[in-house]
Structure 1
């Protein structure tokens, strides 16, 4: 027993330790056995199986060809609806009904123009278009050679036959050209089915060339298109006679039939009264079966040899990178800590063992880097938000001191309360996101103080879009923009300082536009300011001419990403507009 066990273990040992050998032994049977089975099945296949294959293949092909022909005819039929629903034809019919003979000529010209447009839409396939209107007996004809309209003393015979038979659609061979056919459509009102006239499209049969290619790719059969009675309309391969022709006349619907000499496949297009027919000689099936039996064994042997070679080559090439990787990355692992190893002893097992050890070091490194970056970003946001203009504080305190001697206690208290609320807003709570209405309240307190500093000179308007007051924005982003306007946009030469604030939602973004109607700036100065803000937004700065703008830009970029921030526009003498753009979501995914 020990001997056989040792022998068994010795035989399996190379396969346990080598992934390449196991893969090769797996791929060779997988490659050879299917080829051998398929080849043997093909070699001993009977004529019946070949016959079934030919029948099913041609049935499907004829069905597909029928669908393609139906689709093409539907597109031609759509052209008739295009004309029928055109405003030009409706206006012309309306004028005929109302007896407006004086305006018929321009309306008639519109009808012919519409027909020309329809004609050139499918000019490669259409010979001409004919429109006959029952009211007035007007006949319009459009072709490459002519555009005519004339009054017919009597209804043409083909239209009279359709009217007597109450037919909506008729397809027939062109009496003057065997290479084309006519698609005749009755034009009826949608409301009461009243017949208004007929439209004829004379179409070249060559549009069926795609059907011919689909049905007869190897020219191994005969094709024809017949009407519902089995009368041939068109045959690209010649005429069909004998038993096949009789079968075509007696068949209905879709399917196939057998004659002593051939198989007849057909598909009926009921909506058009047409039938597609393909006739395959029996000799084609016989030759196919003989060839299968004759060459089956040879092909099988060659395919089996090729399968062995391909399997061995594929196994070798596939495992080469794995083996190389296993030997070179001894200290790499992507398996999470605590995941049990499979205990394999081949190359995959080696990868598992080494990668498991390195995953812990990678995880610790990622955690360290993430924590450092998070702390850095939090510190940047806190530093930017904490910046306060000391000049504003100084001027406000001077204002309060002056008002103590000149104003009533109520007005003095209102200013002190506004200052108190501003600084309480600055220092309270986390330096994160606040609602738009809170940020606007802070801005209004700032403007209230400025109005007392410059009485009678400041005018502000607020345009708050519906549903925006509850949205979240970074804290302290509006007051620095307004303060920048008072420092740089307004001058003593202006009698009125006007500031407009508009808040609106655009899709998934929130936009806040602050417009000062101040002295503005030139295009060159606007570009310089944009460059200064971009440079200032890349660092935490405590100085500069436009620190407020750079502060806001930096905070928006840090929180929401590079695609958000400030947009500047305006011109000299007309003021400046600053637009703050940020996501409606408040950027929760960017916090923490």
Structure 2
């Protein structure tokens, strides 16, 4: 019954055009007017969408590149802090690893080292949560934070086993994510001739020192901005407790030979930019 009704309706619509030449001409004129306009509208929409996408890509690539430079500058500042200890000729006289020569007593060594670390911590406490220095010549680890400064012979810490490091000839230059809104920069002091480890330094750094640059990258509320390691694991994200970006996609992007760029998926664009240590990632979700 319904099929018959539809058939009759279609016949009623077509009948006037079969009867009158005027209706045929009217239909032809409508087609001539509407079809080009539809094609122009479709082309303009496609072109505008492409232009907007190109502008979004250029803008985000530029911001990601600038952010990586900012990150590198911040890490250079942190490296300078660690070098100020490792290149201290009093702590490491002539890079021989011997004890401090000025007075030579353990009490003097302890006091000088603690005072040095406290001074360094006070000058950088907005960004640094803790400073630790290992001296192989003293077989001790010195640690300073907001609460106190201590000297201990317990060299095996959660971040690094300094006792094992001191027995090697390997150079350390690491960034470790502590999982508590901080990360650690670990460097060893090696004697130049034979690479023997003479000591090392660990800086526990607050991730929030990077918030200002991440805020500038995150221009859209529906985007995710994060710091990831080379395996695609998120190291820091100040905006959400859960990142929905696929780690495998991040890992694949970071494996690209160019080292920077973007990839597109059904969810939107993922922009990535390597830094000196970790990598920056930014995913814009399509609404």
Structure exhibiting the larger radius of gyration computed from Cα positions: 1
Q: In structure 2, what is the equivalent of residue 198 of structure 1? A: 200
Would the alpha carbon gap of residues 92 and 151 (structure 1) be closer, same or farther in structure 2, given more than 3 Å must change? farther
Task: Report the Cα distance in structure 1 between the residues aligned to 2:94 and 2:112, rounded to whole angstroms.
Answer: 9
Task: Report the Cα distance in structure 2 between the residues aligned to 1:183 and 1:215, rounded to whole angstroms.
Answer: 24
Is 1:174 the counterpart of 2:178 in the alignment?
yes
1:265 to 247, 260, 271: 271
Larger relative strand fraction = 2
Task: Report the Cα distance in structure 1 between the residues aligned to 2:195 and 2:94, rounded to whole angstroms.
Answer: 19
Q: In structure 2, what is the equivalent of residue 66 of structure 1? A: 68
Contact 2:273 2:280 in 1 (8 A): yes
Give the total of aligned pairs: 236
1:212 to 211, 214, 222: 214
Following TM superposition, by how much is the alpha carbon of 1:203 offset from its aligned partner in structure 2, in angstroms?
1.0
Task: Report the Cα distance in structure 1 between the residues aligned to 2:99 and 2:81, rounded to whole angstroms.
Answer: 24
SS of corresponding position for 1:219:
coil
Following TM superposition, by how much is the alpha carbon of 1:59 offset from its aligned partner in structure 2, in angstroms?
1.1
Would the alpha carbon gap of residues 119 and 100 (structure 1) be closer, same or farther in structure 2, given more than 3 Å must change? closer
Task: Report the Cα distance in structure 2 between the residues aligned to 1:165 and 1:255, rounded to whole angstroms.
Answer: 38
Following TM superposition, by how much is the alpha carbon of 1:143 offset from its aligned partner in structure 2, in angstroms?
0.7
Following TM superposition, by how much is the alpha carbon of 1:257 offset from its aligned partner in structure 2, in angstroms?
0.8
Task: Report the Cα distance in structure 2 between the residues aligned to 1:180 and 1:66, rounded to whole angstroms.
Answer: 19
Task: Report the Cα distance in structure 2 between the residues aligned to 1:59 and 1:95, rounded to whole angstroms.
Answer: 46
Q: Residue by residue, what CA displacement relative to the aligned partner does 1:298-335 show, whole Å, maximum 9, x if unpaired?
A: xxxxxxxxxxxxxxxxxxxxxxxxxxxxxxxxxxxxxx
Q: Residue by residue, what CA displacement relative to the aligned partner does 1:194-222 show, whole Å, maximum 9, x if unpaired?
A: 32222111111110111112211343411
SS of corresponding position for 1:251:
helix
Give the TM-score normalised by structure 1: 0.37
Q: Residue by residue, what CA displacement relative to the aligned partner does 1:535-570 show, whole Å, maximum 9, x if unpaired?
A: xxxxxxxxxxxxxxxxxxxxxxxxxxxxxxxxxxxx
Aligned-CA RMSD value: 3.0
Q: Residue by residue, what CA displacement relative to the aligned partner does 1:163-195 show, whole Å, maximum 9, x if unpaired?
A: 4794532112215xx211111112223454332
Q: In structure 2, what is the equivalent of residue 229 of structure 1? A: 231
SS of corresponding position for 2:116:
helix
Contact 2:262 2:269 in 1 (8 A): yes
Would the alpha carbon gap of residues 173 and 44 (structure 1) be closer, same or farther in structure 2, given more than 3 Å must change? closer
Q: In structure 2, what is the equivalent of residue 6 of structure 1? A: none
Would the alpha carbon gap of residues 44 and 246 (structure 1) be closer, same or farther in structure 2, given more than 3 Å must change? closer
Task: Report the Cα distance in structure 1 between the residues aligned to 2:132 and 2:85, rounded to whole angstroms.
Answer: 11
Q: In structure 2, what is the equivalent of residue 159 of structure 1? A: 160
2:144 to 134, 137, 142: 142
SS of corresponding position for 1:140:
strand
SS of corresponding position for 1:197:
strand
SS of corresponding position for 2:79:
helix
Q: In structure 2, what is the equivalent of residue 246 of structure 1? A: 248
Give the TM-score normalised by structure 2: 0.72
Following TM superposition, by how much is the alpha carbon of 1:230 offset from its aligned partner in structure 2, in angstroms?
1.3
Would the alpha carbon gap of residues 233 and 167 (structure 1) be closer, same or farther in structure 2, given more than 3 Å must change? farther
2:286 to 282, 289, 300: 282
Following TM superposition, by how much is the alpha carbon of 1:92 offset from its aligned partner in structure 2, in angstroms?
11
Task: Report the Cα distance in structure 2 between the residues aligned to 1:206 and 1:144, rounded to whole angstroms.
Answer: 17
Larger relative helix fraction = 1
Task: Report the Cα distance in structure 2 between the residues aligned to 1:240 and 1:95, rounded to whole angstroms.
Answer: 46
Structure 1 segments unaligned to the other structure (5+ residues):
1-41, 284-592
Following TM superposition, by how much is the alpha carbon of 1:62 offset from its aligned partner in structure 2, in angstroms?
0.9
Task: Report the Cα distance in structure 2 between the residues aligned to 1:206 and 1:165, rounded to whole angstroms.
Answer: 34
Task: Report the Cα distance in structure 1 between the residues aligned to 2:200 and 2:274, rounded to whole angstroms.
Answer: 25
Contact 1:226 1:234 in 2 (8 A): yes
Is 1:90 the counterpart of 2:92 in the alignment?
yes
Task: Report the Cα distance in structure 2 between the residues aligned to 1:98 and 1:141, rounded to whole angstroms.
Answer: 18
SS of corresponding position for 2:90:
helix
1:77 to 76, 79, 87: 79
